[in-house]
Structure 1
Amino acid sequence: MKKITRLPIKSFMYTACFIASSGFLSSCNEAKATKKEIEPDANNAGLTLPTGFTALIAADSTGNARHLAVNKNGVIFVKLNSAKDGKGVLVLTDKDGDGKVDEKTGFGNYGGTGIGIKDGYLYASSNTTVFRYPLDENQLPTQTEKPDTIVTGLLDRRQHNSKSITFDNAGNIYVNIGAFSNSCQEEDRKKGSPGMMPCPVLDSAGGIWQFKANKLNQVYGDGIRYATGLRNVVGLDWNQQNDQLFVMQHGRDQLHGLYPDLYTEQQSAELPAETMYAINKGDDAGWPYIYYDQQQQKKIVAPEYGGDGKKEGGEDAINPVVAFPGHMAPNGLLFYTGNMFPERYKNGAFIAFHGSWNRSPEKQEGYMVVFVPFKDGKPSGDWEVFAKGFAGINKVVSPGDAKHRPCGLAQGPDGSLYVSDDSQGTIYRILYNDDKK
């Protein structure tokens, strides 16, 4: 039998919360867990990890868990894509400090993706609105029935409608407004339909909007279109080293299906790249007019705009800082600032690849967490697979075959890494044995 390594986790306050019969968060008693030993799962929760890392399932069957956040006391907040039992934000508490959630409560009867903690508030988003909840002395949300409304009236036309969020250090919140289109055709996803010029979608979507994090009841007109030409961004985070926004773009679909004379099925399965961009105010990433071809390492004119798979374009569009194979669906981005993991991981980027549908008839890819090393706020090496095995099978033919699909990432107060799964609602926790640093 494989020996289980016990991992000493640094001391911090765990919070035990009691819920009144009304369902509101009513009162909390602090329980100190000093040097509590956490046992990883015997099979590392089914994951394959680098040497020295272990994993456990912190919670299971939570719902379609999208993004997540962890407070200073180790309580996990999970945003569900659709509310479950009238709760769209879950509060998961490990009261005895063994690493496993033993109390699950929640609030907020709305679905969505975005969630985050900043300056004493918990923020959570539906597909049209960003809400804010003040945190009490135990770092738990208050006003759960009547939250502050930070931004309302955000565009939701069903396609690419998740409102992922992140924050800078100057009081701003950044919101993804995904394009309600594949490639801005006159008739979306119709073979031979030309692209619109200029693309009207970009007026209200296909970019990142900046709003004030502390101003109530903002609408589109109160925000700034911080960056444009981004088809859909689900994973985004603020890089603390160079004080800059980074995003992960989902590339366009159906190159072969819409243009079979220009692209083979194999090319369509691999292209275009899923891309990481370092964003400055006013940047344009080029969608829908161009896409990035990671094989040619060039910006290529989209076929809807006269491209043939080789013609270059996008002279004014920014280049990605990292390019990945196509159709893996990067849904989570996190810059690691903790101290648990070895030094090489400090300030590097973890990315959760959810897995897509547009690689058929080729083998599906994704269903993993990868790592990109960074130095001085810039990528400093090739990307590498960090955690795999979420799918539970060796060959995924259809996305529905995968048992688990990574979506969100969060860092715990001890430096452990949390990963959400929006298929079965599993919450993973990945740790490192300090003795092997």
Structure 2
Amino acid sequence: MKNQTEKTNIVNGRSNWCLALLSGLVLASCNPAGDSKLATDADNGGLTLPEGFGALVVADSLGAARHLAVNANGDIFVKRRNIEDGRGIVMLSDTDGDGRADKQTGFGDYNGTGIFLDSNYLYASSNTDIFRYALDENGHVIDPNAPDTVVTGLIDRRAHNSKPFTIDGAGNLYVNIGAYSNACQVQDRTKGSPAMQPCPILDSAGGIWQFRADGIRQTYGDGERYATGLRNVMGIDWNNQANTLFVTQHGRDNLHDLFPELYDTKASATLPAEALFRLDKGANAGWPYTYYDQEQKKIVVAPEYGGDGKKESTEDYLAPAVAFPGHMGPNDLLFYTGNMFPEKYKNGAFVAFHGSWNRAPEEQAGYMVAFIPFKDGAPSGEWEVFADGFAGVEKIAAPDDAKHRPCGLAQGPDGSLYISDDVNGTIYRVIYEGGA
């Protein structure tokens, strides 16, 4: 396996080679840098972008398109959440160079979310396993019907069962195993049900597990728990500058429903923070015992464990590198290493926010892609909205109101940014045209 720097130049990990959807993969050819035939849509595909940027719709109607990656030749792999026509992975190709997919093939008879590309293999996950497909010299899958099973037997208890993952430059594979619970109560999401102390879920879920990318049929016993106290991680990427793993976590729910005497509906709609964590080995982010309150800027004790919304934790739990408003659903994370975008974006982080479902009676929030500037492997400024307009409506009372929900991010070989939507299966491509 080539080192991470070389892999990034080829495919930027899982984000550069292909587009991944939850239960299937799609591969689409990208237009090479500098191709004069590439033109953005007049309305930028419905997106609102910073000055100087444009967008085009590469493909749509792909089903529940989840994470994705783009090949060195511009082909896009998209992972579908659900199998359609026997295919959980779809390959899109652009044969005429206009930036839009005009050829579609597929494979992979399993659902899931995660996908990753290096120069030798395409990796993809179901909700219990991670598979590996050998690639030829052109980056094409050699035998789509016979992948290796790299990891098997991961927990799937329906709640938080997606298995996003990434691979570092040393051949280590990091996979999210989400907690199948909101706050580790005896009866999940039930008012008055006591919390379990200690939380037994953390033995096999609620964290990041590390395996070898070159292993075969590894199980829990072949890997190790790399980080814990994470309710559910959807965005996961390796930061080359910091030589460290970063993840985005979905925070817990139901503060008002379970503890109306402590939290009003507004507090429950905006707390706790959605968090970007830097994860060194052995990190503990505190779930389910604590959560991060972005308004008080502190780690507070969860009400199930004796908290009152103000009591600060005295344990040595990890604080977020960046804290976002609650319930926005950060579904993917990408460190941008391309050369197309202006310098401020170099090595910064893009986060795709899938959008909330539980902010009522407040309006729902998210449904956009944010950007965080980084310097020397650490956040260097405030986060900002980069791409908006996915929802297609001004006010979102319920998730079903949104026409599109961002899910996956990928970097193309020319530095384009690809974004997937898992409502209508739309794939967007954002390019920088100059100006600002």
**Same fold by TM-score, threshold 0.5 exceeded?**
yes
Does the Cα contact within 8 Å between 1:237 and 1:335 map onto a contact in 2?
A: yes
Deviations, residues 112-132 of structure 1 (Å, cap 9, x unaligned): 000010241000000000000
1:283-302 alignment runs, 5 A limit: 283-302=283-302
1:28-427 alignment runs, 5 A limit: 35-313=35-313, 315-427=315-427
Q: 2-side partners of 1:35 and 1:316: how far apart? A: 52
Q: 2-side partners of 1:42 and 1:192: how far apart? A: 54
SS of structure 1 residue aligned to 2:381: coil
- Deviation for aligned residue 1:33: 9.2
Does the Cα contact within 8 Å between 2:234 and 2:332 map onto a contact in 1?
A: yes
- Deviation for aligned residue 1:338: 0.1
- Deviation for aligned residue 1:401: 0.6
- Deviation for aligned residue 1:314: 5.0
- Deviation for aligned residue 1:162: 0.2
Does the Cα contact within 8 Å between 1:290 and 1:314 map onto a contact in 2?
A: no
SS of structure 2 residue aligned to 1:310: coil
Letter in 1 for 2:311: K
Q: Which one has a bigger Cα radius of gyration?
A: 1
Task: Give the aligned CA root-mean-square deviation in angstroms.
Answer: 1.3
- Deviation for aligned residue 1:34: 7.3
| Structure ranking higher on relative contact order (CA contacts 8 Å, 6+ apart) | 2
More strand by share: 1
SS of structure 1 residue aligned to 2:320: coil
Q: 1-side partners of 2:312 and 2:161: how far apart? A: 30
Q: 1-side partners of 2:356 and 2:110: how far apart? A: 25
Q: 2-side partners of 1:231 and 1:404: how far apart? A: 25
Letter in 2 for 1:182: N
Deviations, residues 148-186 of structure 1 (Å, cap 9, x unaligned): 100000100000000001111111110000000000001
Does the Cα contact within 8 Å between 2:408 and 2:420 map onto a contact in 1?
A: yes
Does the Cα contact within 8 Å between 1:286 and 1:314 map onto a contact in 2?
A: no
Does the Cα contact within 8 Å between 2:301 and 2:308 map onto a contact in 1?
A: yes
Q: 2-side partners of 1:49 and 1:225: how far apart? A: 39
Q: 1-side partners of 2:216 and 2:310: how far apart? A: 48
- Deviation for aligned residue 1:316: 1.2
Q: 1-side partners of 2:35 and 2:405: how far apart? A: 32
Compared with structure 1, are the counterparts of its residues 423 and 390 closer, same or farther at alpha carbon in structure 2 (3 Å cutoff)? same
Deviations, residues 90-110 of structure 1 (Å, cap 9, x unaligned): 100011110100001100011
Letter in 2 for 1:151: V
Letter in 2 for 1:400: D
Q: 1-side partners of 2:92 and 2:291: how far apart? A: 40
Does the Cα contact within 8 Å between 1:118 and 1:167 map onto a contact in 2?
A: no
Q: 1-side partners of 2:127 and 2:192: how far apart? A: 31
Q: 1-side partners of 2:35 and 2:144: how far apart? A: 32
- Deviation for aligned residue 1:86: 0.5
Q: 1-side partners of 2:157 and 2:354: how far apart? A: 22
Paired position in structure 2 for 1:26: none
Deviations, residues 221-253 of structure 1 (Å, cap 9, x unaligned): 101100000000011100011110000000000
Q: Could you tell me the TM-score, scaled by structure 2's length? A: 0.92
Does the Cα contact within 8 Å between 1:33 and 1:96 map onto a contact in 2?
A: no
Deviations, residues 45-87 of structure 1 (Å, cap 9, x unaligned): 0000000000000000011000000000000000000111100
Letter in 2 for 1:371: F
Letter in 2 for 1:368: M
Q: 1-side partners of 2:215 and 2:151: how far apart? A: 8
Letter in 2 for 1:420: S
Does the Cα contact within 8 Å between 1:289 and 1:314 map onto a contact in 2?
A: no
Paired position in structure 2 for 1:20: none
Letter in 2 for 1:240: N
Letter in 2 for 1:285: A
Which sections of structure 1, spanning at least 5 residues, go unmatched?
1-28
Letter in 1 for 2:282: G
Q: Following TM superposition, where does structure 1 have runs of at least 4 consecutive aligned residues deviating by more than 6 angstroms?
A: 31-34
Does the Cα contact within 8 Å between 1:270 and 1:327 map onto a contact in 2?
A: yes
SS of structure 2 residue aligned to 1:217: coil
Does the Cα contact within 8 Å between 1:130 and 1:149 map onto a contact in 2?
A: yes
Paired position in structure 1 for 2:15: none
SS of structure 2 residue aligned to 1:436: coil
Q: How many residues align?
A: 407
